[in-house]
Amino acid sequence: MAVATQRDNVADGRVLEIVRVFDAPRSLVFKAWTDPAHTARWMGPRGYTATRYEQDQRPGGKWRACLRRDEDGRESWQGGVLREVVPPERLVFTFAWDQEDGRPGHETLVTVTFAEERGRTRMTFRQAVFASVESCDGHQGGWSSAFDRLEELVAQARQAGEL
């Protein structure tokens, strides 16, 4: 597994980029991102369970997820709109956590690219621009943990021929 994380100084540390290499073909990794039944299995950091995950898989389609903290059952909702869907190469979507009143909070743009590398997949994840460095740091930890779970899912699915 290769992991790299970078910060974009242009936005004063409020842009997150994570690069991961998965030992799986990009069609499998892309499907793990775009099939809601599979995405729900890895979405969210360890200690959280995605109790709902819905995605209208087309540009302009909405996505929505509920993450429940395993420790105390607290639910956090997030969602956005898909801007680009280019199988199996690229996903672009907006991302915002729901505020307490149910309205979306600060919106960021997520771009995920999938490059084939000799049967493996280089996934480049970029999320920008966060409202604060602290928010960016929190998302770095959350996404990194979720991508560990994604790596486990694609490894299991590859062995079982599931995805």
Which pLDDT does position 11 carry in this prediction? 62
Q: CA 163, CA 84: separation in Å to the nearest integer?
A: 22
Is the pLDDT at 64 greater than 50, yes or no?
A: yes
Instruction: Count the alpha carbons within 13 Å of 33 in the hemisphere toward its beta carbon.
Output: 25
pLDDT tens digits along 85-128: 999 999 999 999 999 998 999 999 999 999 999 999 999 999 99
Q: Which residue has the higher pLDDT, 158 or 21?
A: 21
pLDDT range class, residue 157, cuts 50, 70, 90: confident
* Helix intervals (H) in the chain: 26-34, 36-42, 133-160
Q: Is the pTM of this model over 0.85?
A: yes
Mean pLDDT for 119-143 is 96
Q: What φ, ψ does residue 14 adopt, rounded to 5°?
A: -105, 15
Average pLDDT, the chain: 92
Domain count, the chain: 1
The CATH code of the domain that includes 89 is: 3.30.530.20
pLDDT range class, residue 8, cuts 50, 70, 90: very low
Which pLDDT does position 160 carry in this prediction? 85
Domain enclosing residue 49, as ranges: 2-160
Mean pLDDT for 22-34 is 95
Q: In this structure, are residues 75 and 97 in contact, taking their beta carbons and an 8 Å threshold?
A: no
43-61: string of b/e by CB count within 10 Å (b at 16+)? bbbeebebeebebeeeeee
DSSP state of 74: -
Which pLDDT does position 153 carry in this prediction? 95
Mean pLDDT for 65-79 is 97
Mean pLDDT for 74-88 is 97
